[in-house]
């Protein structure tokens, strides 16, 4: 079984590993670089000191023309002061000066000295530099300088190196502890918002669609994740509301014709009505209504099926719209509705002709149904660049603002108690939207309560 690690622990371990590797690399690199720089500094100081002694002897030779006349007391005093051994020989290796090595032992640590150097002085080995002395490219003698430790480090230099060797590991440990602390802080900052989103999603899964993520973070991706989960929650809440309304509406749509059928049949059985042609036709109308409802539901499902094929062809959309508008004029006369058309001529389209007719029939039917007596309906068709734009506008009862986002949902009606005179099954606009989207078009609605509604459909002109 695969072991699962919590996000906080995984982030902590990853951050800790990165921080530790980085810190250890920086610490080791810094330590080596500082040590090398300090050793280079000691080398430069030692070289300058050695050159100073050699230059003094050469200058004395140039002044006295004899290396034996070099002031030996100055060299011995300088050797004792610097804690080094100096031996001067002529070019035949005859010793001119030997400062002695006894006092070199004094630089080794003693328990009585309050300036006792660090322990690493005990490991210093004795070393010598042999330097040939030249004057005008002619060898005049040989200088030997002896000392303890590489580059003859001073007492203060040894103390510094010892303290540095002690302090650096302590600093490294402190830095690592700080790194661990920071890794925990960073892990918490990243994991807590994600855990909050997980908690929100779990509540949504349980059906609590009012749950929202309330994380506060300055991380753009986490903020976007929170926003996305909240949008999902809004959608689920809306869909849940629509589902409940759908059940209610379908029950209403089915129950009404079934109740009528039941009443007809009970009246026949009880002998209250005779099964006349008129009564039987009434039963048939209710059966047709139920059948129509089922067909419409099946039709929407077929439109949403990506495998549904459209029977596209090239046709004159302007002429087709003129025909449909003329068919609706007699119906509009009943309510004395003025029907205005602004159709740009000779606009051709490559679409499913029958389904486009269905779009216009549904929109005009809605405009008629929800227009007041002596109202007005305006229909237009325009070609704008490479787009075909169809608008259907009325000055009817309008749509409440809160209902506009849902009017294209199946069986949604803005008024649950709407009568049969103005109502319908509530799926006409769902069909319209499905057909428009099947043609890769777009439909928009603008509406103001008690002032009217305007539908705008936009298609790409593929011709």
Tell me: do 340 and 448 sit in the same domain: yes
Dihedral class, residue 93 (left if φ above 0, else alpha if ψ from -120 to 50, else beta): left
Residue 112 vs residues 102, 118, 153, 333: alpha-carbon distances, Å: 19, 14, 21, 125
User: CATH number, domain at 249?
Assistant: 1.10.287.130
Of the three residues 272, 302, 332, the one that is the final residue of a domain is 302
Longest dimension (CA), the chain: 158
Q: How many other C-beta atoms are found inside a 10 Å radius of the C-beta of residue 331?
A: 13
Tell me: do 314 and 297 sit in the same domain: no
Determine, yes or no, domain membership for 453. yes
Are β-strands 338-343 and 376-384 bridged in parallel, bridged antiparallel, or unpaired? parallel
Q: Spell out where 370-426 has E strands.
A: 376-384, 387-394
Determine, yes or no, domain membership for 212. no
Determine, yes or no, domain membership for 211. no
Q: Determine the pLDDT at residue 26.
A: 82
Rounded CA-CA distance 42/149 in Å is 11
Rounded CA-CA distance 145/123 in Å is 20
Tell me: do 352 and 298 sit in the same domain: no
Tell me: do 42 and 84 sit in the same domain: yes
Q: Determine the pLDDT at residue 308.
A: 55
**Which helix H or strand E contains 459, and what residues bound it?**
strand 452-460
Do 162 and 120 touch, CB atoms closer than 8 A?
yes
Determine, yes or no, domain membership for 279. yes
Tell me: do 160 and 124 sit in the same domain: yes
Structural domains in the chain (count):
3
Q: Determine the pLDDT at residue 105.
A: 53
User: CATH number, domain at 93?
Assistant: 3.30.450
Tell me: do 29 and 172 sit in the same domain: yes
- Three-state DSSP at 103 gives helix
Determine, yes or no, domain membership for 275. yes
Q: Determine the pLDDT at residue 381.
A: 95
Q: What is the pLDDT along the chain (463 residues), one digit of tens a residue?
A: 556 667 667 777 787 788 788 878 887 888 888 888 888 888 888 888 889 888 888 898 888 888 888 888 888 888 888 888 889 998 888 988 888 887 775 554 433 333 344 444 445 788 888 989 888 888 889 999 988 877 777 777 777 777 777 777 888 788 888 878 888 887 777 777 878 888 888 888 888 888 888 877 777 777 888 888 888 888 888 777 767 776 776 777 777 788 888 888 888 888 888 888 888 888 888 888 888 777 766 766 665 554 457 889 999 999 999 999 999 888 888 888 999 999 999 999 999 999 999 999 999 988 998 888 889 999 999 999 889 999 999 998 888 888 888 888 766 666 533 444 555 556 778 888 888 988 989 999 999 988 999 999 999 987 6
Cross-strand bridge partners of residue 379? 341, 392
Residue numbers of the domain that contains 108: 7-177
Tell me: do 363 and 246 sit in the same domain: no
**Best CA proximity match to 452, nearest among 410, 392, 408, 362:** 392
Of the three residues 260, 282, 302, the one that is the final residue of a domain is 302
Of the three residues 302, 331, 365, the one that is the final residue of a domain is 302
**Best CA proximity match to 406, nearest among 238, 231, 243:** 238
Tell me: do 12 and 152 sit in the same domain: yes
Q: Determine the pLDDT at residue 306.
A: 46
User: CATH number, domain at 359?
Assistant: 3.30.565.10
Tell me: do 120 and 269 sit in the same domain: no
Cross-strand bridge partners of residue 377? 339, 394
Determine, yes or no, domain membership for 379. yes
Tell me: do 233 and 254 sit in the same domain: yes
Tell me: do 283 and 335 sit in the same domain: no
Tell me: do 18 and 160 sit in the same domain: yes
DSSP 3-state percent helix, strand, coil across the chain (nearest 5) = 55, 15, 25
Determine, yes or no, domain membership for 184. no
Determine, yes or no, domain membership for 191. no
């Amino acid at each position: 079984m695969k072991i699962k690690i919590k996000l906080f622990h995984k982030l902590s371990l990853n951050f800790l590993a990165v921080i530790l590797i980085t810190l250890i690399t920086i610490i080791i690199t810094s330590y080596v670089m500082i040590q090398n720089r300090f050793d280079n500094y000691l080398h430069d100081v030692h070289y300058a000191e050695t050159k100073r002694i050699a230059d003094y002897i050469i200058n004395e030779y140039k002044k006295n023309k004899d290396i034996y006349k070099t002031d030996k007391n100055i060299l011995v005093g300088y050797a004792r002061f610097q804690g080094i051994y100096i031996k001067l020989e002529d070019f035949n290796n005859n010793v001119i000066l030997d400062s002695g090595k006894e006092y070199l032992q004094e630089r080794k640590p003693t328990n009585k000295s309050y300036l006792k150097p660090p322990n690493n002085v005990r490991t210093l080995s004795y070393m010598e530099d042999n330097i040939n002395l030249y004057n005008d490219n002619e060898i005049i003698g040989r200088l030997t300088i002896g000392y303890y430790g590489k580059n003859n480090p001073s007492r203060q230099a040894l103390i510094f190196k010892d303290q540095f060797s002690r302090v650096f590991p302590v600093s490294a440990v402190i830095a690592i502890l700080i790194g661990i602390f920071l890794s925990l802080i960073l892990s918490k900052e990243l994991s807590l918002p994600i855990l909050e989103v997980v908690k929100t999603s779990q509540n949504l899964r349980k059906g609590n669609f009012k749950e929202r993520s309330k994380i506060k973070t300055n991380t753009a991706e986490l903020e976007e994740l929170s926003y996305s989960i909240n949008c999902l929650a809004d959608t689920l809440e809306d869909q849940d509301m629509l589902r409940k309304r759908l059940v209610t509406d379908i029950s209403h749509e089915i129950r009404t014709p079934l109740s009528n059928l039941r009443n007809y049949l009970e009246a026949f059985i009880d002998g209250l009505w005779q099964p006349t042609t008129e009564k039987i036709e009434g039963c048939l109308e209710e059966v047709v209504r139920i059948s129509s409802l089922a067909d419409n539901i099946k039709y929407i499902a077929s439109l949403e099926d990506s495998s549904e094929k459209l029977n596209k062809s090239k046709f004159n959309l302007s002429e087709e719209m003129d025909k449909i508008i003329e068919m609706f004029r007699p119906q509009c006369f009943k309510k004395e509705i003025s029907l205005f058309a602004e159709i740009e001529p000779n606009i051709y389209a490559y679409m499913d002709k029958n389904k486009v007719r269905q779009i216009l029939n549904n929109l005009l039917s809605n405009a008629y149904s929800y227009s007041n007596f002596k109202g007005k309906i305006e229909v237009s068709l325009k070609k704008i660049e490479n787009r075909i734009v169809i608008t259907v506008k009325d000055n009817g009862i309008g749509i409440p603002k809160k209902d506009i986002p849902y009017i294209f949902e199946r069986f949604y009606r803005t008024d649950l108690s709407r009568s049969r005179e103005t109502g319908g099954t509530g799926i006409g606009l769902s069909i319209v939207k499905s057909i428009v989207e099947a043609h890769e078009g777009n439909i928009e609605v603008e509406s103001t309560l008690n002032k009217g509604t305007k539908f705008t459909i936009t298609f790409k002109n593929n011709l």
